[in-house]
Amino acid sequence: MRVWAIILVGLELGFASSVDAGPIEEATAAERRDDCQTAVKLYREQAAHGVAQALSRLGYFSSIGYCAKRDWREAANWYSRAADAGDQEAIASLSHIGRNWRFMNRGQPLPSEIYAEVEKAAKRGSAVAQYSLGLMNYPIGDPGFDATRPTPGIAGNLAEAITWFQRGADQGDFDSLVTLATAYAEGIGVAQDYVEAHKLLNVAAPRVKYADMRNDIIKRRDELATRMTATQIAEAQKLARDWKPVR
């Protein structure tokens, strides 16, 4: 089964404007000329004042090992603080760290502090964090994950994963919708339900930006339809038309 996690290793957030533009602009300029000492000094000074962009840049540095030792725990801490300061993109970057750890550090325990930071964002309602938390608990569709022999320190909690995938799907998160559709189509953690799976794929298809991925979803939906009756397909289509995201 194809893994529907979109693994985003590059987590750069760009150079947004800040309330205190002077020091941030100086730090940005230093970063662009690879003057790490000056960039880190200035960003840290602004981070101490809770400037979201500075916190995010320090998270980015730690996440890729630029101007700092690569340390995803440290990156998660910076991104979480940036999220607390109102940076929505930092929530996405934090969430990607959580899911990337699962797929890029097989055999290593998931740091509890990273899980806790992603969970905090998920509980605040971030759909991308909810999807990541689902993957961190149980990556449905990942052939490399053995649920019968979970890695120590990694939850392997299918029920918890379904809860978070459902919450993300309820908001219309594409990844959550497709993953949950896989769960219903295969009966993973939920009772097998082709109608629900077909509905979720119908809802997901127009929400993806890339044509090849959209075509893939449609192909999966049509393959699923070969196992359904005409009445079931009609029911799934009606449910998809009536579906509305939860806000």
Q: pLDDT by residue (tens digit) across 114-147?
A: 999 999 999 999 999 999 999 999 988 776 665 5
Spatial separation of the C-alpha atoms in residues 163 and 63, rounded to whole Å = 28
Where does the pLDDT of residue 100 fall: very low under 50, low under 70, confident under 90, or very high at 90 and above? confident
**pTM of the predicted model, to two decimals?**
0.83
Q: Tell me the per-residue pLDDT of 188-238, one tens digit each, with 9 for 90 and over.
A: 999 999 999 999 999 999 999 899 999 999 999 999 999 999 999 999 999
- 190 inside domain: yes
Where does the pLDDT of residue 21 fall: very low under 50, low under 70, confident under 90, or very high at 90 and above? low
What single DSSP character describes residue 207? G
> What's the confidence (pLDDT) of residue 20?
45
- 165 inside domain: no
Higher-confidence residue: 49 or 148? 49
Helix or strand or coil: residue 26? helix
> What's the confidence (pLDDT) of residue 102?
74
> What's the confidence (pLDDT) of residue 98?
87
> What's the confidence (pLDDT) of residue 101?
82
What single DSSP character describes residue 7? -
Where does the pLDDT of residue 92 fall: very low under 50, low under 70, confident under 90, or very high at 90 and above? very high
- 37 inside domain: no
- Total of domains in the chain: 1
Task: Provide the residue range defining the domain that includes 236.
Answer: 172-247
- pLDDT(50) > 60: yes
> What's the confidence (pLDDT) of residue 103?
74
Within the chain, how many helices (H) and strands (E) appear?
A: 12, 0
- 227 inside domain: yes
- 138 inside domain: no
Spatial separation of the C-alpha atoms in residues 40 and 62, rounded to whole Å = 11
